[in-house]
């Protein structure tokens, strides 16, 4: 039976043109890496109950929505990149939030035409219509094999019984306390008795447990219609928001063809719009593909990678938006000839100031959002990046539902050229329009190589794209999954025209050499990201998983 499965996997994966090895060994174990041990355990529990990677993805997502609500949740959305072993299908489930029908391009501008950052980021006016629950139902119906009620059970238990507060969530509550205090339902969960929970104290979310139970019973109708929907709309509107019941009822999941590209013999499958991540990664890798980075001098390598980042983020700011609303020149931006043109403008010795590049005219954050990676023993894979946007999102829990609403509207360009919370700028392609999805940087990715498959991604706002890129380059250098998630990080996003460095990323001599090439260095005091990755060696069937060492709750388990 196992041999048959192996042969079948071999043929079907070859059919997807993704894998070329003649002898494919199915994964001997399943691997899950996520941002919290309760979420990883929930995924493995569902696999043990007969579920596949897609059922496990629902369990992991839903549990993260309870125990890591500062990063993702059912009041938010995200992208699940799937690989189905049975037919080699790669697809991105787009559960991104959409702007409500009453949204309009100028909704965050004050009487002087300036962006009101508080309205764009805090409270219910900052919230777009969530997509995560619709994503769960779509995954269960079309890809999973267990009922949604089963896959949601671990999350329901975690909400009802509580989870112990841990340093990362405590820090986020402290940072967001001023906003949370505006809303009694948010206070009740995160500041019980007016106090930030202590480490180990249980955070119990009874209303959220009931909302998840309604979804377990009625599917997405338990969230987008009926009592939960009515309570959310009432709470939003009483507090200055613009949601309607029709907005919720009209929410639809989209299946997107992922962005695919080749890099020196590796095939990448990555996020499609409304994420900018896949296109930017493809552009950067196409630019870099002409050079052998592995054996290159370190300073030269960082310089060339930075110049490629600069150019891809410049394109992001001009061209990228929701393809249901704007025409994005995907073919052009991901074409090797286009990259060759960009490459020709790169000097090997000198940084090009961003304002030399035609474009539009610092405060990157980003330990919000979440990512997890799964490979099951059939070879099904999920790379999922989910978000509520900034840490603890809008800070607004809709009374009686336990649902913390996202502040994803800030991922739109509130005004051309005006930076959002991540310092990213945008133009008309990403302006606010009713029913439109805000441009994202989330970049869940698969890599199919001759002998290995990689599943990876990370949170981190505008730096998601470059963190995934650096993980990929480390993989292409021949290093293992533990190295991809640990590698020091640097970042350039076109504007502000700075080369950002994570704490201790580069030594003083390398920094000096990069400055001599004209790079303006911005040294961060902290570290970035929370990458979770899984690999599968197709020759041996061995599965490995790793979580970013930068956070203490990361949980990578192979069994
Ligand atoms: N909210 C962060 C992103 O989608 O890029």
For residue 276, the tally of other CB atoms under 10 A from its CB is: 31
Ligand 1: does its nearest atom lie under 6 Å from the Cβ of 462?
no
| Residues of each domain in the chain carrying CATH 1.10.246.130 | 256-365+443-552
Ligand 1: does its nearest atom lie under 6 Å from the Cβ of 441?
yes
- Strands in 208-319 per DSSP E: 254-256, 259-263, 266-270
Ligand 1: does its nearest atom lie under 6 Å from the Cβ of 461?
yes
pLDDT at 119: 97
For residue 279, the tally of other CB atoms under 10 A from its CB is: 27
Relative to the CA of 387, which ligand 1 atom is closest?
1
pLDDT at 22: 59
Ligand 1: does its nearest atom lie under 6 Å from the Cβ of 387?
yes
For residue 341, the tally of other CB atoms under 10 A from its CB is: 11
Q: Give the Cα separation of 233 and 425 in Å (integer).
A: 30
| Side-chain-side CA neighbours of residue 14 (13 Å) | 10
Convert the pLDDT of each residue in 405-433 to its tens digit.
Answer: 999 999 999 998 888 998 899 889 999 99
- Cβ–Cβ < 8 Å for 236, 103: no
Convert the pLDDT of each residue in 481-504 to its tens digit.
Answer: 999 999 999 999 999 999 999 999
Tokens 């993805």 belong to residue: 57
Looking at every residue in the chain, the average pLDDT score rounds to: 94
pLDDT at 359: 64
Ligand 1: does its nearest atom lie under 6 Å from the Cβ of 389?
yes
Ligand 1: does its nearest atom lie under 6 Å from the Cβ of 320?
no
Q: Give the Cα separation of 95 and 387 in Å (integer).
A: 10
Q: Has 369 been annotated as catalytic?
A: yes
- Which helix or strand (DSSP H or E) is residue 182 part of? none
Please, where are the H alpha helices in 68-166? Answer: 117-121, 132-142, 148-161
* Residue 15: pLDDT over 80: no
Q: What is the DSSP letter of 411?
A: G
CA of 344 to the centre of ligand 1 (A): 31
User: For the domain 256-365+443-552, what is the CATH code?
Assistant: 1.10.246.130
Relative to the CA of 410, which ligand 1 atom is closest?
1
Relative to the CA of 408, which ligand 1 atom is closest?
1
Please say whether the dihedral angle defined by the alpha carbons of residues 70, 74, 80 and 86, taken in this order, is positive or negative.
Answer: positive
Higher per-residue pLDDT: 372 or 16: 372
Ligand 1: does its nearest atom lie under 6 Å from the Cβ of 442?
yes
Relative to the CA of 411, which ligand 1 atom is closest?
1
b (16+ CB within 10 A) / e for 459-492:
bbbbbbbbbbbbbbbbbbeeebbbebbbbebbbb
Q: Which residues, in sequence order, are CB contacts of 390 under 8 Å at separation 6+?
A: 121, 365, 368, 407, 410, 421, 461
Convert the pLDDT of each residue in 263-288 to its tens digit.
Answer: 999 999 999 999 999 999 999 999 99
- Strands in 317-475 per DSSP E: 370-375, 381-387, 397-398, 403-404, 445-448, 452-456
What's the burial of 372, exposed, middle or buried (CB within 10 Å: 0-12/13-18/19+)? buried
CA of 171 to the centre of ligand 1 (A): 20
Residue 368 pLDDT level (bands cut at 50, 70, 90): confident
- Cβ–Cβ < 8 Å for 34, 372: yes
* Residue 69: pLDDT over 90: yes
CA of 8 to the centre of ligand 1 (A): 37
Q: What's the whole-model pTM score?
A: 0.95
Ligand 1: does its nearest atom lie under 6 Å from the Cβ of 94?
no
Of the candidates 369, 385, 387, 458, the residue annotated as catalytic is: 369
Ligand 1: does its nearest atom lie under 6 Å from the Cβ of 411?
yes
Convert the pLDDT of each residue in 86-125 to its tens digit.
Answer: 999 999 999 999 999 999 999 999 999 999 999 999 999 9
Closest residue by CA, ligand 1 atom 3: 440
* Residue 329: pLDDT over 60: yes
Report residue 85: phi and psi, to 5°: -65, -35
For residue 502, the tally of other CB atoms under 10 A from its CB is: 22
Closest residue by CA, ligand 1 atom 1: 389
Closest residue by CA, ligand 1 atom 4: 440
For residue 184, the tally of other CB atoms under 10 A from its CB is: 10
Beta-strand relationship, 499-501 and 521-523: parallel
Relative to the CA of 441, which ligand 1 atom is closest?
5
Farthest CA pair distance, the chain = 70
What's the burial of 22, exposed, middle or buried (CB within 10 Å: 0-12/13-18/19+)? exposed
Ligand 1: does its nearest atom lie under 6 Å from the Cβ of 369?
yes
Q: 136 vs 66, 80, 139, 381, CA distance in Å?
A: 14, 10, 5, 16
CA of 347 to the centre of ligand 1 (A): 31
- Which helix or strand (DSSP H or E) is residue 90 part of? strand 89-95
CA of 349 to the centre of ligand 1 (A): 33
pLDDT at 474: 98
Q: Give the Cα separation of 90 and 54 in Å (integer).
A: 13
CA of 147 to the centre of ligand 1 (A): 29
Residue 49 pLDDT level (bands cut at 50, 70, 90): very high
Weakest mean pLDDT among 22-26, 181-185, 242-246: 22-26
Q: Give the Cα separation of 164 and 170 in Å (integer).
A: 10
CA of 86 to the centre of ligand 1 (A): 31
């Amino acid at each position: 039976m196992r041999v048959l499965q192996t042969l079948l996997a071999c043929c079907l994966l070859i059919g997807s043109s993704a894998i070329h090895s003649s002898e494919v060994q199915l994964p001997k174990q399943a691997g899950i890496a996520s941002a919290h041990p309760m979420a990883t355990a929930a995924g493995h529990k569902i696999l043990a109950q007969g579920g596949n990677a897609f059922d496990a993805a629902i369990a992991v997502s839903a549990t993260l929505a309870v125990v890591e609500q500062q990063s993702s949740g059912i009041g938010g959305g995200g992208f699940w990149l799937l690989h189905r072993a049975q037919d080699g299908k790669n697809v991105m489930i787009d559960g991104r939030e959409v702007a409500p029908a009453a949204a309009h391009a100028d909704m965050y501008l004050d009487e002087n035409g300036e962006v009101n950052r508080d309205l764009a980021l805090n409270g219910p006016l900052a919230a777009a219509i969530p997509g995560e629950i619709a994503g769960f139902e779509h995954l269960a119906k079309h890809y999973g094999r267990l009922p949604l009620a089963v896959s949601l059970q671990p999350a329901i238990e975690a909400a009802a019984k509580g989870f112990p507060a841990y340093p990362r969530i405590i820090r986020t509550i402290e940072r967001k306390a001023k906003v949370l205090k505006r809303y009694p339902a948010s206070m009740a969960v995160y500041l019980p008795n007016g106090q930030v929970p202590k480490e180990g104290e249980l955070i119990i979310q009874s209303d959220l447990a009931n909302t998840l139970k309604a979804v377990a019973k009625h599917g997405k109708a338990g969230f987008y219609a009926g009592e939960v929907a009515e309570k959310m709309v009432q709470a939003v509107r009483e507090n200055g928001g613009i949601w309607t019941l029709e907005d919720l009822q009209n929410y639809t999941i989209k299946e997107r063809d992922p962005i695919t590209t080749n890099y020196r013999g590796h095939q990448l499958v990555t996020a499609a719009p409304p994420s900018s991540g896949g296109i930017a990664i493809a552009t950067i890798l196409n630019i870099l593909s002409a050079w052998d980075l592995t054996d290159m001098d370190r300073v030269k390598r960082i310089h060339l990678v930075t110049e490629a980042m600069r150019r891809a983020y410049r394109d992001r700011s001009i061209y990228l938006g929701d393809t249901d609303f704007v025409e994005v020149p995907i073919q052009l931006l991901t074409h090797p000839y286009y990259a060759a043109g960009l490459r020709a403008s790169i000097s090997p010795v000198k940084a090009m100031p961003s304002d030399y590049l035609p474009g539009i005219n610092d405060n990157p954050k980003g330990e919000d959002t979440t990512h997890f990676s799964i490979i099951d023993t059939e070879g099904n894979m999920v790379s999922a990046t989910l978000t509520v946007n900034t840490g603890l999102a809008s800070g607004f829990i809709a009374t009686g539902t336990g649902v913390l609403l996202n502040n994803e509207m800030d991922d739109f360009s509130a005004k051309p050229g005006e930076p959002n919370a991540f310092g990213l700028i945008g133009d008309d392609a990403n302006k606010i329009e009713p029913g439109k999805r805000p441009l994202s940087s989330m970049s869940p990715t698969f890599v199919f190589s001759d002998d290995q498959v990689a599943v990876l991604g990370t949170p981190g706002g505008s730096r998601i794209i470059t963190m995934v890129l650096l993980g990929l380059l480390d993989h292409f250098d021949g290093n293992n999954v533990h190295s991809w998630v640990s590698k020091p990080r640097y970042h350039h996003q076109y504007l502000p025209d700075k080369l950002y460095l994570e704490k201790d990323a580069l030594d003083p001599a390398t920094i000096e050499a990069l400055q001599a090439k004209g790079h303006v260095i911005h040294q961060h005091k902290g570290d970035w990201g929370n990458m979770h990755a899984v690999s599968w060696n197709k020759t041996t069937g061995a599965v490995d998983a790793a979580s970013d060492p930068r956070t203490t709750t990361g949980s990578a388990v192979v069994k």
